[in-house]
Structure 1
Amino acid sequence: MGRRRGLGAAGGGEPPLRLLFAGTPDVAVPSLELLMASAHEVVAVLTRPDARSGRGRRASRSPVAERADAAGVPVLQPRSPREPEFLERLTELAVDSAPVVAYGALVPQAALDLTRHGWVNLHFSLLPAWRGAAPVQHAVMAGDEVTGASTFLLEAGLDTGPVYGAVTEPIGPRDTAGDLLGRLSISGARLLVATLDGIAAGTLEPRPQPTEGVSLAPRLEPTDARVDWSLPAHVVDRRVRGVTPAPGAWTTWRGDRLRLGPVEPLPSSLGLVPGELSVGPTGVLVGTGRGAVRLGEVQPAGKRLLPAPDWSRGARPAPGERLGDDGP
């Protein structure tokens, strides 16, 4: 469990806030759950429009929309929060604040101005570190030992607003981005509720972010998740864990993509050149720029995820054959 800093006591007699909750993916659901269970009133939810996926191109609701539907909370799904119809609806709702967790679209100034206490964003880093769409992934990939979550007052800049509070979370040596984000979604939800409690009580004011220590965490695309076997083993390990489960680490094998689960770094290269495979009693090893890694689970194109030794029995790599030698 993380350690919270920067928040004072909220007090017990504050009036509840009328809230518009903005969020879309699974990671936002714990915050919505805690806010609906709090003294505050979630009068509506703002989420991204239904996405069409699968062979039948069926429309699927976001996890936040599904939870709001189950609770009977009205759901707003404008194509953009700039739409006049949405701004009119936001005016009618007369909300005090709009907590935001991974909503997925930029909120215009016109919408920011329509709440009494502003839009309060829960961001999964210790700001000003890792501003952007993929803070947890970048923290793992960079080898950070500690990260956290911050609540801040949303403004026009990219995660630049003044901070209300933060909670810290250690990054374990085998944590994937998914593991870490799961823990932060829980501790961050508690932080968000405490922040809104403090705002309601008038005991909490945001403080400007430091000008030093700024780093950026842009969205990761599948091309960013391709493994570079020329990197040292410990860097390969961090990069694979940082893109697990999404967008998912991958390499190539005999012209097709091969998806990779987390790997285990080994100090010795065992004489393997970068990308070279070795199959033996200790597992499936791959050479890197320095050291080697042991593969965990792999997923060939069009097939299920399976342990690397099982894959190797079917693939039968020849001596000296390498991963990543050819294009996808």
Structure 2
Amino acid sequence: MRLVLAGTPEVAVASLDALLASRHEVAAVVTRPDAPRGRGRRQAASPVAERARAAGLEVLTPARPSEPAFLERLAALAPDCCPVVAYGALVPRAALDVPRHGWVNLHFSLLPAWRGAAPVQRALLAGDDVTGASTFRLEEGLDTGPVYGVVTEQVRPRDTSGDLLGRLAVSGARLLVATLDGLEDGALVPVPQPGEGVSHAPKLTVQDARVDWAAPAQRVDRLVRACTPAPGAWTTWRGERLKLGPLEPAPGGDALAPGELRAGRDGVLVGTGSHPVRLGEVRPQGRGAMAATAWANGARPHPGERLG
């Protein structure tokens, strides 16, 4: 089949590579326009745009996929199908109707669970043991279309959202290729999503990523892992923001009040609403990441001093 892939972030690059290696023809990609990226916030192309240009593909970057010029070019490309992986914009009906096999979305959850922008983060935050990826026919509703196929993935005890999404990007890319193969062969019929088991996964904001030390240790641990690498969990220390990398529960030690900090031979411990947690890597405001022990050696917390 002749394809036009829509995708933007790094997680979509694995699917582009898999499609380029498949029996299908990738005629072009659609991606979000250049935007400020990285610590320097310089204008840069999306990871999908960079990979596509390296492969010699045409790159379309409409501000909105409803733009007449984009719709005209999409129709001229005459794709049989448009696979979608984390594109980042709603596709209007006028574009959905162009390819004869429609738009096939790769979504990183087992639909109808976790419809929305942050399915992997929300699955970790909820403590799910198993998640996965689904391919479905894109329609105007939010991740509501009928499903072509799924692949499951075990959630490991210390997974961050980056870890889990990295694995799903690879297994999901294989699922996407298999789905397109099945569509071309006429072997796949999409199955409507059930009405039960629906949950939603709105994007995690920076404010969502602030640690509440009065929450149980398990909740704190899940939040930090769900927010790693983005948007990045954080707390405050002496009035300044302190970013937190993955930490680990430390049951069995001395009780500490929520947010109370203690640095010693067993590491840097912080109290929660249940038992303490041990900090791993931290990033003080305006500085690079460092081990929590190195940070505490410089910060010299007073007895009873608290984070947050």
Establish whether TM, by shorter chain, passes 0.5.
yes
Higher relative contact order (CA 8 A, sep 6+): 1
Question: Is residue 261 of structure 2 the alignment partner of residue 312 of structure 1?
Answer: no
Partner Cα separation in structure 1 for residue 215 and residue 202 of structure 2: 21
Q: Which residue is equivalent to 1:192?
A: 176
Question: Is residue 74 of structure 2 the alignment partner of residue 108 of structure 1?
Answer: no
Shift of 1:271: 2.0
Partner Cα separation in structure 1 for residue 188 and residue 204 of structure 2: 34
Identity of paired residues, percent?
A: 70
Shift of 1:42: 0.4
Q: Which residue is equivalent to 2:235?
A: 251
Question: Is residue 200 of structure 2 the alignment partner of residue 228 of structure 1?
Answer: no
Question: Is residue 14 of structure 2 the alignment partner of residue 30 of structure 1?
Answer: yes
Q: Which runs of 5+ in 1 are unaligned?
A: 1-16
Paired AA for residue 302 in structure 1: G
Q: Which residue is equivalent to 1:208?
A: 192
Paired AA for residue 118 in structure 1: G
1:193-225 per-residue CA deviation (whole Å, 9 max, x = no partner) reads 000000000000100001100000001111110
RMSD: 1.1
Shift of 1:57: 6.3
Q: Which runs of 5+ in 2 are unaligned?
A: none
Residue from 123, 126, 129 that aligns with 2:110: 126
Q: Which residue is equivalent to 2:144?
A: 160
Paired AA for residue 80 in structure 1: R
2:255 and 2:276 in contact (8 A); partners too: no
Q: How many residues align?
A: 308
Partner Cα separation in structure 2 for residue 303 and residue 102 of structure 1: 31
Q: Against the structure 1 CA distance between its residues 193 and 303, is the aligned structure 2 distance closer, same or farther, given a 3 Å change threshold?
A: same
Q: Which residue is equivalent to 1:139?
A: 123
Paired AA for residue 322 in structure 1: R
Q: Which residue is equivalent to 2:80?
A: 96
TM-score for the superposition, normalised by structure 1: 0.92
Partner Cα separation in structure 2 for residue 217 and residue 261 of structure 1: 22
1:5-46 per-residue CA deviation (whole Å, 9 max, x = no partner) reads xxxxxxxxxxxx010000000000000001011110000100
Aligned pairs for 1:250-289 within 5 A: 250-268=234-252, 270-289=254-273
Partner Cα separation in structure 2 for residue 119 and residue 101 of structure 1: 10
Partner Cα separation in structure 1 for residue 166 and residue 154 of structure 2: 13
Question: Is residue 247 of structure 2 the alignment partner of residue 290 of structure 1?
Answer: no
- Tell me whether 53-62 or 135-144 shows the greater mean CA deviation: 53-62
Partner Cα separation in structure 1 for residue 16 and residue 144 of structure 2: 23
User: Helix, strand or coil for the counterpart of 2:208?
Assistant: helix
1:120-143 per-residue CA deviation (whole Å, 9 max, x = no partner) reads 000000000000000000001111
